[in-house]
Structure 1
């Protein structure tokens, strides 16, 4: 059973990675949301319990972190660039950042 869970998780991760690459490589449809200019999430992989989320604009950011099965694990609004993720167990997560009308999704690895 544990082996099957690993393969299912790996398959979902690969599918999400491919869809994320496809989303980032095509232009936004007219009237659609623009990507966040200069978005940087670091360090990634993270081992210290904190990540930093920056962009060219200094606007507040709404951040959501999901596990690979799509369950929301963490939700926060950042007025600074630092986010405490020390409660997350090691693994692969999806981080969604919203800044104004712009939204971006990235993979986050916690060691």
Structure 2
């Protein structure tokens, strides 16, 4: 029973920190992000103030990399990722954003 509470507490802390994690130079609250969240149609749209190539890495809650790509497009098809809770890291130039991603 204690093990179950440990995992719940660990996941809560992980998601709390991931929602606020920011690396690199940030030019505003919405300089780099994505929508919609939760994802229901298998596509996300990346918001950015520039049009540089973006590296996208998606991790599961245990930190295992499940998907990685580089794109110049603002639309990203993630339909191959099974439903669940993930961490998405988007890097564009010197700016990096790390957020929680929910796929339904």
Q: Runs of 4+ in structure 1 displaced over 4 angstroms? A: none
Q: Please, which runs of 5 or more residues in structure 2 have no aligned partner? A: none
Who is 1:34 aligned against? 25
Aligned length: 101
Instruction: Kindly state the Cα deviation for residue 68 of structure 1 after the two structures are TM-superposed.
Output: 0.2
Taking structure 2 as the reference length, the TM-score comes to: 0.82
Q: Please, which runs of 5 or more residues in structure 1 have no aligned partner? A: none
The 3 A distance-change label for structure 1 pair 21 and 67 is closer
Who is 1:11 aligned against? 9
More strand by percentage: 2
Higher relative contact order (CA 8 A, sep 6+): 2
Aligned Cα RMSD in Å?
Answer: 2.5
Instruction: Kindly state the Cα deviation for residue 15 of structure 1 after the two structures are TM-superposed.
Output: 1.3
Instruction: Kindly state the Cα deviation for residue 50 of structure 1 after the two structures are TM-superposed.
Output: 0.9
Who is 1:87 aligned against? 80
Query: For the residues of structure 2 that align with 1:109 and 1:95, how far apart are their CA atoms?
Result: 10
Partner-residue secondary structure (3-state), 2:41: coil
